[in-house]
Structure 1
Amino acid sequence: MPSPRQQLTRRQKYRNRRIAFFGVLALVLAGLVYVVSAGAAPLPAAAAALSQPEALTAAAAQPAWPDFGETAIGAVGFDGVLASSGEQGAVPIASITKMVTALVILEAKPLAAGEQGPNITFTDADVDIYYDTIAEDGSSAPVVAGMVLTERQALEAMLIPSANNYAVSLANWAYGSVDNYLAAASAWIDQHNLTGTTVVDTSGLSAGSMSSPADLVEIGKMVATNPVLADIVAMTKADLPTIGVLTNTNKLLGDFGVDGIKTGTTDEAGACLLFSADFTVGSETVTLVGVMLGGDTHSELNDAIAELIQSVKPGFQELTLTEAGAPYASYASAWGQTGQAVAAESKTALVWSDTPVTGTVTAKPVGTAHSGDAVGSIDFQVGSRTISVPLILDGTVSDPGLGWRLSNPGEIF
């Protein structure tokens, strides 16, 4: 028989039952909170194990340089001069000056590809300019008072036979006077940062019209990418009203891929040629731009340029930077799933000589993701250019499910 001290009162029994009930309830609620929290908690993101690509370097080019004058080469789409030979200071450039004249005239009187532009009526003043040119023993093309040429035709008359008189007439037409033109040309030269270039006339007959090989390469690139001028300087002949057939002074046109740009010849400058040549490298077309100054004769100059072009071609190479699907990073989730970050596309790059090519991989951590999701990039540094290729996930990293979440609290909390 329990003693009175051992017997629980009804109040005590009720209190104990409440304690037991709420204890169990607390455990159940705690369990529910854990289950809900574990199910909703963000999964740990797997860091990418990166695989950096090896540097790529092509063989160095071996240009065949002449043993005279100054030479430099570049290419459209490439910065600056790619290679050079001889002194690189400013020297007289003879009729190559007319390419500056043409570019500056088109600043005032723009032409689109295929356009003829406004008509120009030539006057007695233009006839006088023609006879002045002959008296100076400069290159010229006929002009008749009252004849009409379009702007495009007048540019052809200036550039194809290298007619000094048309350089003066066009400058007068576009700017009102040669002095006004020279002021505009000086401003244009400054605008394009052609620090080695000075023009004191429209034709280059004066030895004071000078430039450096580096500047001439840049001027050549402007011409090669101007659809009107690129078309004109590639013409071997032009048949113009009143004037008749004019023949291009550039005898290399059509050979070795040459499609421009401008000859120049004076006693001070020697034989000169600013040239462009197109050739195919892999899936790319290279537009080579070069200048050779100070030759004794144009025959000697042309032979040297032909040899140079052929020696330069192998110096351009199309390198494969990456193939689509190439892996650059791997992932391993805490619950055992794996995936790779792979290149989303194939990519090549046209390079000159031994231009260094390096790649840097970046990839973000991945929690869950679907196949094809963007996860990073590989950035190739090709000389001064950066070429980026997206990285995508190859494989799916899915939620491991509630069972794994509940049994791995240390991974998710």
Structure 2
Amino acid sequence: MTSPGRIIGITVGALAILGIGVYGPAMLLGPLPDVTVRPAAAAAAPAEVPALTLPETGASAIAVVGDDGTAETIATAGDPAAVPIGGAAKLVTLLVTLDSLPLPADGPGPAIPIGPEDYVDYLRYSGEGSRAVQVSPGETWTERDVVRAILLASSNNHADTLVRWAFGSPDAYVEAANAWLAEQGFTATRVDDATGLSGDNVGTADELARLASLVLADDQLAAMLDDPEAAPPGARVVPDLVGRADDGAVRAITRSFTDQAALSYVFTTELPAVEGVEGLRRITGAMLLMPDYETLDPAVTAAVDSAAAASAPVTVIAEGTPYARVVAPWGDQAELVASVSRTDAAWGSAPGEVSVTVDDFSTAPEGREVGRVSVATATGELASPLRLTGDINDPGPVWRLTNPATVIGAFLAGQAS
């Protein structure tokens, strides 16, 4: 019979063997817990951010045109709802037609015959005092000439002529145009005719400022606005009635007056160059429901001047700025700082919310990028990797052997993930 002492001895020996053979390796080789992330104080916003100035009268918006031709709205003011847009509806007329029947890179494009209906339109609009460019039955206008008459002279009779030629009838055009607007993401802008004379042509200043960027993205339309007098040999003479001599560097894309919409003005300009910013810096703007030019003109000047000031670059993320601190259970700790600087135009608003994401890790050397900081701005998000300012080392065998619960917890957490 085995004595109790012998049994105890065997048990103690077995436990010792297990401790040496199992516990020791498990503690020494097992995974370590991840570091804890503690947010740092948010970096200070620029002390002064120039404001964007828009009139409270009517409805206004300014957008920045990106390198890809799309526009990002940076400021709105006044009525945010859809309002009558007047002759700005002709921009939709042009964009929808040229989307399906584009002008050739060179040459006049297809011939469009002028019939009795086109001539009656000319007489009617002329008699009403609406903008019209003379046509006569039997004439033939090229697509390019008709487009120039609509864009530069805001000719109402040519708008109707174009959509009858392209879509068969004004009603068919309206259906196609509203479908196109929906496809392009314009949820508030709707047209009721090709001219803009109906008060049911509505839109927001925000959407018109963005719609203007699509006009500029069309090389043919942009060239006409840039040099209104340039035309192929034999082209018809079309006056530039939309542009104004006292607009300076601002180019009117559309300018009209109707009883329902009052003054509608959509424009673009290239902002002056500033140090530290490369490439073209273009904005588009829309001012709707303006009562008169005494209100409109100073509002446009103030908006453009304020946009120029607000376009100066500010540092949104500064290299070396701490955005978080990581702390290991065994005491090692280090700051996470931005690896690179990021600058952007403030466009009238201070940088927005700061977001920090950090990878799961237990140990890492100084300088390793283990996370990311992103900051919201008026035109999108800017981001920088985050790097460690110090080493997070393995704690060594003593800490591992004396903290079994922490090591086992890390093992179990790894099995569950």
Find out whether 1:155 has 2:185 as its counterpart: no
Q: 2:229 aligns with which of 221, 232, 237?
A: 237
- Could you tell me how far 1:288 is from its partner in structure 2? 3.3
Using structure 2 for the length normalisation, give the TM-score: 0.74
Q: 1:44 aligns with which of 28, 33, 37?
A: 33
Secondary structure at 2:353 match in 1 = strand
Q: 2:176 aligns with which of 184, 197, 203?
A: 184
- Could you tell me how far 1:24 is from its partner in structure 2? 5.9
Change in CA separation of 1:289 and 1:225 when aligned onto 2, cut-off 3 Å: farther
Contact 1:253–1:259 under 8 Å retained in 2: no
Equivalence for 2:393: 398
Secondary structure at 1:179 match in 2 = helix
Secondary structure at 1:239 match in 2 = coil
Find out whether 1:70 has 2:61 as its counterpart: no
Structure 1 segment 72-111 matched on structure 2, within 5 A: 72-76=60-64, 82-85=75-78, 90-91=83-84, 93=86, 95-110=87-102
Inter-partner Cα distance in structure 2 for 1:377 and 1:214: 32
Change in CA separation of 1:240 and 1:97 when aligned onto 2, cut-off 3 Å: farther
- Could you tell me how far 1:272 is from its partner in structure 2? 3.8
Equivalence for 1:174: 166
Secondary structure at 1:320 match in 2 = strand
Q: 1:324 aligns with which of 319, 342, 347?
A: 319
Equivalence for 1:122: 112
Contact 1:72–1:81 under 8 Å retained in 2: no
Secondary structure at 1:353 match in 2 = coil
Give the counterpart letter for 1:291 in structure 2.
M
Give the counterpart letter for 2:387 in structure 1.
I
Gaps of 5+ in 2: 66-70, 409-417
Contact 1:323–1:343 under 8 Å retained in 2: yes
- Could you tell me how far 1:177 is from its partner in structure 2? 2.0
Q: 1:350 aligns with which of 340, 345, 358?
A: 345
Change in CA separation of 1:43 and 1:196 when aligned onto 2, cut-off 3 Å: closer
Change in CA separation of 1:304 and 1:251 when aligned onto 2, cut-off 3 Å: farther
Inter-partner Cα distance in structure 2 for 1:405 and 1:81: 55
Q: 1:283 aligns with which of 277, 288, 297?
A: 277
Contact 1:234–1:260 under 8 Å retained in 2: no
- Could you tell me how far 1:313 is from its partner in structure 2? 3.1
Change in CA separation of 1:288 and 1:190 when aligned onto 2, cut-off 3 Å: closer
Structure 1 segment 183-332 matched on structure 2, within 5 A: 183-189=175-181, 192-195=185-188, 197-200=190-193, 202-205=194-197, 209=201, 211-252=203-244, 257-265=249-257, 271-279=263-271, 280=273, 283=277, 285-294=281-290, 296=292, 301-302=296-297, 304-316=299-311, 318-332=313-327
Change in CA separation of 1:34 and 1:12 when aligned onto 2, cut-off 3 Å: closer
Q: Which moved more, 1:286-295 or 1:162-171?
A: 286-295
- Could you tell me how far 1:147 is from its partner in structure 2? 4.8
- Residue-by-residue CA offset, 1:191-225 (whole Å, 9 max, x unaligned): 5455464433x223556645554553343344344
- Could you tell me how far 1:53 is from its partner in structure 2? 0.8
Inter-partner Cα distance in structure 2 for 1:239 and 1:399: 75
Q: How many residues align?
A: 393
Q: 1:136 aligns with which of 109, 121, 125?
A: 125
Give the counterpart letter for 1:283 in structure 2.
V
Change in CA separation of 1:46 and 1:216 when aligned onto 2, cut-off 3 Å: closer
Identity %: 25
Q: 1:366 aligns with which of 361, 368, 372?
A: 361
Larger radius of gyration: 1
Change in CA separation of 1:198 and 1:353 when aligned onto 2, cut-off 3 Å: same
Change in CA separation of 1:183 and 1:398 when aligned onto 2, cut-off 3 Å: same
Secondary structure at 1:352 match in 2 = coil
Secondary structure at 1:321 match in 2 = strand
Inter-partner Cα distance in structure 2 for 1:212 and 1:408: 64
Contact 1:233–1:262 under 8 Å retained in 2: no
Contact 2:363–2:394 under 8 Å retained in 1: yes
Using structure 1 for the length normalisation, give the TM-score: 0.75
Inter-partner Cα distance in structure 2 for 1:351 and 1:231: 30
Find out whether 1:333 has 2:328 as its counterpart: yes
Inter-partner Cα distance in structure 2 for 1:187 and 1:215: 16
Equivalence for 1:27: 16
Inter-partner Cα distance in structure 1 for 2:400 and 2:215: 67
Change in CA separation of 1:335 and 1:135 when aligned onto 2, cut-off 3 Å: closer
Inter-partner Cα distance in structure 2 for 1:232 and 1:315: 29
Find out whether 1:164 has 2:164 as its counterpart: no
